[in-house]
Chain A
C-alpha cells in the first residue's frame, strides 16, 4: 500500500492536468452561462445584475417566446422520431447480429451498418438532398420544402446516419447475456422470437433505457444536421427550427435578429435545465427500478 501522504500528492499531480482543462473549458463555461443569464451588458455600467429579467423577456416577448416554444416542440418531435424509429431498428439489428444465425459475417455486418455514423452531417445532408431532389423523380414531392414533411424528413436522415449507435449499445448488451440461459430456453423448445423477448430482452432493459436517455440528450443537443441542410433560421417558416439552431441565432445573430449574449446564456440555461430535469427524473424513477429488477 502507498502511504496516505504520498497517495494524496500523487493523486493531485496525476489528476490535475485533465481536471484543469475539463473544468476550465467545460464545467466553468456552463456554470458561468447560468450566472450570465442573470446579468445584462450595459454600455456604461458594464454587466448589471437584472434578476429574472432575461427570463421574463424570453417567455413574454411575443416573437422571441413564440420562436422558443416552436423550437422546443420541434425538438420534442425530433427526439420522438429518433426514439420511435432509430432505437427499434437498432434493436432489430442487434438482435439479428446476436441471434446465433451468423458466423464470420457478424463482424462484417456490424462494421458496415455503422459506417453512416462515421460520416459528417454535411455529407449526410447533401447525400439525402440529392436523393430526394424532386427534379430527379425519386420522390416527386418537395419533402424539405413542405412545412408538414420537412422536420420528419430531416429526423429520418438523422436516423439513417445514427442507427448504428443504438445497434452497437444493444449488441454489446446482448453479447453479455449468458449463453447457457439462451441454450436452456432453446432446449425447452422456445422459438427464437420467444427466447429473445422472454430471456434476452429483459436482461438488457437497463441498456435499452440508457440509449433512450442518451438519444434524448443528443437530440436536444442537435444542431449540425439542421444547420447543414437549412441554415440557422431553418425553414420553411421555422418548421425545422430546434433548440440548437434557436440558441445559435440568439447569441450569433442572423438576418432580422441582433446577437444578444445575455439572452443566449439565458436560452442555454433553459435548455440545460430541461436536460438536467429529464435526465435526473429518468435516473431516479426509471433506471433505479430497472436495476432493482435485474439483480
Chain B
C-alpha cells in the first residue's frame, strides 16, 4: 500500500495491551467475518468435490478421495463460459473506459468554467442522475435499440451502462478537480497553453479520482442482471451474470459444474475489489455524499 489516506496518528491513550475491550471488538468482527465468508467458502470447497461427496457432507473439506476438478472441466466443455466471460469483459471495460473519459472532461469543465451561466443547471442535472432509477426507462430504451438496429448486441449494453454511470462519475470527478490549484492552470495559460492543454496539465493531479471512478462503476455493470436479460439475451451476447443464471437452470443436476461456474463467475470482481478496495471505498463514500 503506497497511499497514506487511511493513516491516523495513534491516539494518546493507546497502548498495545490486549484489554477486554479490544478482545471484544475483535471477537464481534471475527463473527461477522465468518458470516460473510462462510457461505462463499462452502461453495468453493464443494466445487472441488465429487457429486456424492457434496451430498454426503456439504460442509466438509475435500479429501484425497473426494477431490475432483470435473466440475470445472464440464463448465468449460458444456457451458458457454468463455464466450460469456469475454462478453462481460468487453461490456465492462468499454463502459468503464467511456465513463471515465467522458466524465473527466465534463467534470473538469463544470469546475473550471463555474462562472458560466449554464453550469449550475448542468451540475444539478448530473447530480439528480446519481439517484435516478434508469431501469424505469427500460421500455423507451428498448424502442431506441430496436430503431437503431442494435437490439441484442453488446453495444446496446455499453451505451446504457455508460449513461447509467456518468452521473456518479461526474459528481465524483468534480470533487477531485476542485482540489487542483488554480495557480497551476493560470500559469499554464500564461505560458500560452490552450484550454485543452490546460486540461491535460490538470489531469495527472486527479489520478486517484480516475481509479475511484473506475472501481465504483465496474461493480454494478459486471453484476447487472436486468439489462443483459432484456437488451442482450441472445446466446452469443450473454454476460457472465446472465450466463450463470441460465446455467443454474440448465444444470440443476450437475452440482460440481454449477458450483464451479459460480466460483468462476465471482472470481474476477472479488480479486479486483480486494486489490483496489481503498480506491473503491473512497469513491463510494465521496460520490454519494454531495
Q: Evaluate contact between B223 and A15: CB separation under 8 angstroms.
A: no
Contact of B189 among A2, A15, A119, A247 (CB under 8 A): A2
Given A26-B163, A122-B248, A122-B265: A17 in contact with B105 (beta carbons within 8 A) = yes
Chain A residues within an 8 Å CB radius of B109:
10-11, 13-15
Q: Does A102 sit within 8 A of B, measured CB to CB? A: yes
Given A18-B166, A207-B289: A32 in contact with B137 (beta carbons within 8 A) = yes
Q: Mark B194-209, 1 if CB is under 8 A from A, else 0.
A: 0100010000000000
Q: Mark A1-45, 1 if CB is under 8 A from B, else 0.
A: 110101110110111011101101111111011001000000000
Given A183-B11, A251-B138, A268-B137: A165 in contact with B226 (beta carbons within 8 A) = no
Query: How many B residues have CB within 8 A of the partner chain?
Result: 97
Report the stretch among A70-78, A147-155, A216-224 that lies at the interface. A216-224
Q: Evaluate contact between B244 and A120: CB separation under 8 angstroms.
A: yes
Within 8 A of B (CB), among A241-295: 244, 247, 251-252, 261, 264-265, 268-269, 271-272, 275, 279
Q: How far is the CA of A25 from the CA of B225 in the complex (A)?
A: 18
Q: Does A111 sit within 8 A of B, measured CB to CB? A: yes
Q: How far is the CA of A279 from the CA of B14 in the complex (A)?
A: 43
Within 8 A of B (CB), among A115-143: 115-123, 126-128, 130-131, 136
Q: How far is the CA of A19 from the CA of B103 in the complex (A)?
A: 9
Chain B residues within an 8 Å CB radius of A58:
none
- Name A's interface SS: helix
Q: How far is the CA of A102 from the CA of B19 in the complex (A)?
A: 12
Q: Evaluate contact between B241 and A122: CB separation under 8 angstroms.
A: yes
Which of B43, B58, B110, B135 counts the most A-chain CB atoms under 10 A from its CB? B135
Q: How far is the CA of A90 from the CA of B145 in the complex (A)?
A: 40
Q: Evaluate contact between B166 and A127: CB separation under 8 angstroms.
A: no
Given A32-B140, A268-B136: A123 in contact with B265 (beta carbons within 8 A) = yes
B262: nearest residue on chain A (CB-CB)?
A: A123
Q: Mark B57-88, 1 if CB is under 8 A from A, else 0.
A: 01000000000000000000000000000000
Q: How far is the CA of A14 from the CA of B106 in the complex (A)?
A: 5
Q: Mark A32-73, 1 if CB is under 8 A from B, else 0.
A: 110010000000000000000000000000000000000000
Q: Mark B3-31, 1 if CB is under 8 A from A, else 0.
A: 00010110111100001011001101100
Q: Evaluate contact between B108 and A14: CB separation under 8 angstroms.
A: yes
Chain B residues within an 8 Å CB radius of A275:
133
Q: Does B116 sit within 8 A of A, measured CB to CB? A: yes
Contact of A101 among B21, B159, B229 (CB under 8 A): B21
Shortest Cβ distance from residue B124 to the other chain A in the assembled complex, whole angstroms? 12
Q: Evaluate contact between A22 and B25: CB separation under 8 angstroms.
A: no
Q: Evaluate contact between B28 and A21: CB separation under 8 angstroms.
A: no
Q: How far is the CA of A107 from the CA of B162 in the complex (A)?
A: 31
Within 8 A of B (CB), among A195-228: 207, 210, 214, 217, 220-221, 223-224, 227-228
Q: Does A238 sit within 8 A of B, measured CB to CB? A: no
Chain A residues within an 8 Å CB radius of B37:
112, 115
Which of A32, A115, A227, A271 counts the most B-chain CB atoms under 10 A from its CB? A115
Given A25-B159, A96-B28, A121-B223: A30 in contact with B136 (beta carbons within 8 A) = yes
Instruction: Show 23 residue pairs from A and B whose CB-CB distance is below 8 angstroms, ordered by the A residue.
Output: A2-B113, A2-B189, A14-B109, A18-B103, A28-B137, A29-B139, A32-B137, A92-B28, A96-B25, A101-B21, A110-B277, A110-B281, A111-B274, A113-B33, A115-B270, A118-B219, A126-B43, A172-B281, A179-B8, A214-B131, A224-B224, A227-B225, A271-B133
With A26-B134, A223-B226 known, 11 other A-B pairs at CB within 8 A are A2-B112, A25-B144, A26-B167, A93-B32, A109-B29, A111-B277, A131-B39, A168-B285, A172-B281, A175-B8, A217-B131
